[in-house]
Amino acid sequence: MHVKELAVARGVEKAELVLKNANIINVFTEMIEQGDIAICNGRVVGIGQYEGEEELDCSGKYVAPGFIDGHIHLESSMLRPVEFVKAVLPHGTTAVITDPHEIANVSGMEGIEYMMEASEGLPLDVYFVLPSCVPATAFDENGAMLLAKDIEPLYKNRKVVGLAEVMDFYETIRGASDILKKIEDAKTANKVVDGHAPGVTGKDACAYVAAGVQSDHECISFEEAKDKFRLGQWIMIREGTAARNLDALMGMFTPPYHQRAMLVTDDKHPYDILRLGHIDDIVRQAIRKGADPCIAIKMGSLNAATYFGLRDYGAVAPGYHADLIILSDLKQVTVETVLKNGKVILDKNNVVEIKEPEIRKDLLDKVYHSFHCEEIEPEDFRILYSQEDEGQEQFRVIKMIQGEITTEEIFAPLIEGEAGVNLEEDIIKLAVIERHHNTNHVGIGFVNGYGLQRGAIASSVSHDSHNIIAIGTNDKDIAIAANCIRDMQGGWAIALDGKVIGNLPLSIGGLISNLDAATLAKEIHEMQALATEMGVKDGIDPFMSMAFVSLPVIPKLRLTTTGLFDVTIQKIVPLVVRKE
């Protein structure tokens, strides 16, 4: 701290800026205090009575630390980082911790470097946790493989704060050498290790935590969260677009659990960000459901900063960065003003000009040319079986669950027509098409709970390998939608009666749009509305819910390019099984 800052703190010199007469959210005492906030050289230097060269009257308003999203994949917003910042700043977010494993699964180390360069110099701090599982498991086909030796040098980057979610739980507790080396490298560098272990309890959970994993964002019940809390893990309460766990985890807002819990979005569409909010939306919902406002704000700021070792972030206190938000009330959590390093960067939704960082041409070439697959034919999705099999054999079907990204396994009989499709029972065809290495691999399955009644819907956003995923009522429309994705170098497509009736390009890695947030949100809403018109159920996000059906690290049944994968037994299982 400079001499001038100390002089301002002592009250012998004027501060650069003083927030006068504020109701201050003290995240340490979890109480509201009244006073002035003195700011100098980008930091809070004093709380009490102060004079400033510039003064901002905060009478009747509340000053809180800026919100921090403790677990997000920026690519899943489908926005370039500069546009993401423009979208979340009005909601009081001043820092995020992002895991770039989406684009890493497509473009490898160059994908990570692209995200780092695209995030540099923005008026929101973007910190990184390094992808731990690229690919997510050995059973999947993606665009790159990252070993411990590949990512270890990046720990020298000041913006890298940890190892990202260790998704391959089974390999971790069995002591696979490379994942243990990644964990050890993170610990040696004094960085955190994020977890991902849905439903894992008992001795397996003990082994997972003993390996060095410190947090989890996959809890879907308070009991599961308490079990992991007892083992010493930090709990991330996720409320995004597809996965919404806040209701189930409201118990975490009470002592002692709230001390080691934080708020995260994981994956949230720009339409939802602009319409509902970001971390402010989770805080607002929690308060509405009975949480203490000071505790909710603490869980949306200080707790993430503490966990990730950001020692001087997340509080309105001397020595802390003056990343602050001014709220008009604590019921609606309405953000009026945002300060970053003591400078007003947003006032009543008017944001300062934000310039996009310059990015190396070789990185742009890599992420803009990520599709390598042949034209897709309807015959690629055909399932052959004899009529004698009808009544004797049945299909495995992935059952989707509203509001969750976990799935269940059910069985359906073979029927005539488009083999396996039964619109009355909401059983429709699912395909995952490899697009990174031109292998011609196509995984075929069936899904229940999606609701589509006609046509087909396809996307290049399919976690985590981001191959082309499609759900449809007939093979022709599936092929047309999938080929549209291929031709656009990524995006969303909807086909009906042999033609494309809606599309949204995502030309950066097949994940990210070149549009601004408002325009992209409008196009997303139009695509979602079109999908809903075609039968997709309420409570199911047509594209984000579909994107998780291919993720082979969350129970129970998933589809990869090589077939159906049972997460609980870690095996590829046959689509057609004999009735017992």
**Same domain for 380 and 249:** no
Instruction: Write down which residue in 281, 310, 339 finishes a domain.
Output: 310
**Same domain for 377 and 228:** no
Q: Is 519 left (phi over 0), alpha (psi -120 to 50) or beta?
A: alpha
C-alpha 239: how far from its chain's center?
Answer: 10
Q: Would you say residue 340 has pLDDT above 90?
A: yes
Q: Would you say residue 420 has pLDDT above 90?
A: no
The answer to whether 52 and 324 are in contact (CB under 8 A) is: no
Q: Would you say residue 328 has pLDDT above 60?
A: yes
Which residue reads 């001087």 in tokens?
A: 312
pLDDT of residue 389: 57
Q: Would you say residue 564 has pLDDT above 70?
A: yes
**Same domain for 415 and 279:** no
* Environment class of 516 (CB within 10 Å of its CB; exposed 0-12, middle 13-18, buried 19+): middle
Answer yes or no: pTM beyond 0.75: yes
Give tens-digit pLDDT for 144-188: 999 999 999 999 999 999 999 999 888 999 999 999 999 999 999
**Same domain for 206 and 93:** yes
Dihedral Cα 518, 519, 525, 526, nearest 10 deg: 160
Among 112, 95, 94, which Cα is nearest to 103's?
112
Tokens of residue 34, six digits: 């009244």
pLDDT range class, residue 417, cuts 50, 70, 90:
low
What would the mean pLDDT of 499-506 be, rounded to a whole number? 98
Among 488, 490, 495, 487, which Cα is nearest to 471's?
495
496 in a structural domain: yes
pLDDT of residue 349: 76
pLDDT over 70 percentage in the chain: 97
Q: Would you say residue 440 has pLDDT above 90?
A: yes
Q: Would you say residue 565 has pLDDT above 80?
A: yes
Q: Would you say residue 321 has pLDDT above 70?
A: yes
The answer to whether 232 and 209 are in contact (CB under 8 A) is: yes
**Same domain for 482 and 558:** yes
pLDDT range class, residue 385, cuts 50, 70, 90:
low
Sign of CA dihedral 11, 13, 14, 18: negative
Instruction: Write down which residue in 310, 342, 358 finishes a domain.
Output: 310
18 in a structural domain: no
pLDDT of residue 59: 98
What would the mean pLDDT of 521-529 be, rounded to a whole number? 95
224 in a structural domain: yes
**Same domain for 146 and 247:** yes
The answer to whether 314 and 303 are in contact (CB under 8 A) is: yes
453 in a structural domain: yes
**Same domain for 381 and 236:** no
Split into its structural domains, the chain has a count of: 2
**Same domain for 392 and 296:** no
19 in a structural domain: no
What would the mean pLDDT of 355-381 be, rounded to a whole number? 96
Cα–Cα separations (whole angstroms), residue 398 to 136, 265, 288, 348, 553: 19, 25, 35, 46, 14
Give the integer Cα–Cα distance in Å for 488 and 482. Answer: 10
pLDDT range class, residue 430, cuts 50, 70, 90:
very high
What would the mean pLDDT of 373-378 be, rounded to a whole number? 96
The answer to whether 422 and 412 are in contact (CB under 8 A) is: yes
pLDDT range class, residue 383, cuts 50, 70, 90:
confident
> CB neighbours (10 Å) of residue 159?
14
352 in a structural domain: no
Give tens-digit pLDDT for 84-115: 999 999 999 999 999 999 999 999 999 999 99
Instruction: Write down which residue in 295, 310, 325 finishes a domain.
Output: 310
Q: What is the mean pLDDT of the chain?
A: 95
pLDDT range class, residue 405, cuts 50, 70, 90:
confident
**Same domain for 401 and 277:** no
What would the mean pLDDT of 209-238 be, rounded to a whole number? 97
341 in a structural domain: no
**Same domain for 303 and 209:** yes
Q: Would you say residue 463 has pLDDT above 70?
A: yes
pLDDT of residue 195: 97
Among 312, 249, 254, 315, which Cα is nearest to 282's?
249
Which residue reads 């403790």 in tokens?
A: 70
The answer to whether 409 and 524 are in contact (CB under 8 A) is: no
Check which CATH number belongs to the domain holding 268 and give it: 3.20.20.140
pLDDT of residue 2: 85
Among 553, 406, 545, which Cα is nearest to 465's?
553
State which residues form the domain around 287.
66-310
531 in a structural domain: yes
**Same domain for 571 and 479:** yes
pLDDT of residue 1: 65
pLDDT over 90 percentage in the chain: 89
**Same domain for 259 and 151:** yes
What would the mean pLDDT of 481-500 be, rounded to a whole number? 98
